[in-house]
Amino acid sequence: MKFDILTLFPGMFSGPFSESIIKRAAEDGLIDIRLHDIRDYAADRHKTADDAPYGGGAGMVMKVEPLAACIEAVRAERRNSRVILTTPRGKRFDQALVSELANEEALLIICGRYEGVDERVRELFVDDEVSIGDFVMTGGELAAMVIVDAVSRFIPGVLGSADSSASDSFSDGLLEYPQYTRPAEFRGRGVPEVLLSGNHREIAQWRRRQALQRTLATRPDLLATAQLSDKERDYLEELANGRRS
């Protein structure tokens, strides 16, 4: 998977991309991340990348010409890139979108700054507008890092164990069950007996029920689309009505 990130602040990426799994994936050639400084594509002497908004109002807007030149330069090399604009008004970035994006050959991610980018960038070049949540950050760089990180986990070989993403939260429409590791007791708190039992069928059943309980408690909206058996739906109804704990 190839990622091209268009930003006014390429220096922000050096930390997150030079540690741990993302660093290893890049070294192994599983992902290829390239940073492009939008300012390099500004034509004037001062490398101007922003200007005041037409119609007045607070703040500045990222100019269309440097962004257009930068996007076109990248796309000359990567014709099949899917172009993503980071913006709070985009569609919500969730695990379904992550797995969809992981099937692409290349992603070109535009990081906005100031009051955002000139609307003509969206009209002319953008395939998807993506928001990482209902809040506003100072720029799209952190959103780009989130996208690269989450999408990379779906690239075969990036995660150590083949099934470590299969049980993640959202993979089956539910939040993940609780995890424990040694010691078996800490400050009077033990590990649930069933996890020490070695009985794989009971462990799987306990985990599934915990996932159902957690999802019902904190993200009941996910249950509407989760794949559930009739028995599991009955179990949830009993939980919701307080007939189960």
Ligand X SMILES: C[S@@+](CC[C@H](N)C(=O)[O-])C[C@H]1O[C@@H](n2cnc3c(N)ncnc32)[C@H](O)[C@@H]1O
The least CB distance from residue 93 to ligand X, in Å, is: 7
Q: Any catalytic annotation for residue 153?
A: yes
Binding site for ligand X (CB under 6 A): 86-89, 111-113, 115-116, 131-133, 135-140, 143
* 88 among known catalytic residues: yes
Of 87 and 152, CB closest to ligand X: 87
Which residues 6+ apart lie within 8 Å of 57 measured at CB? 115
> Minimum Å distance from CB 97 to ligand X?
13
Cis peptide before 183 (omega within 30 of 0): yes
Q: Which of 168, 172, 176, 232 is catalytic?
A: 168
Q: Which lies closer to ligand X via its Cβ, residue 136 or residue 162?
A: 136
In the bound state with ligand X, the residue whose beta carbon lies nearer, of 89 and 120, is 89
- Using CB atoms, what's the residue nearest to ligand X? 112
Q: How far apart are CA 122 and CA 38, in angstroms?
A: 16
Q: Which helix (H) or strand (E) holds 216?
A: helix 200-218
Return the number of other C-beta atoms located less than 10 Å from residue 81's C-beta.
Answer: 21
CA distance 34 to 26: 11
Least CB distance to ligand X at residue 105 (A): 23
Q: For residue 190, what are the CA distances in angstroms to 87, 196, 224?
A: 44, 11, 33
Q: Among the options 34, 88, 104, 219, which is catalytic?
A: 88
Does the annotation mark 77 as catalytic? no
Q: Is 113 a catalytic residue?
A: no
Closer residue to ligand X (CB): 128 or 176:
128
Given the residues 37, 115, 128, 129, select the one marked as catalytic.
115
Mark out the alpha helices in 108-199 (DSSP H runs): 119-125, 141-152, 193-196
Active centre residues (catalytic): 88, 115, 153, 168
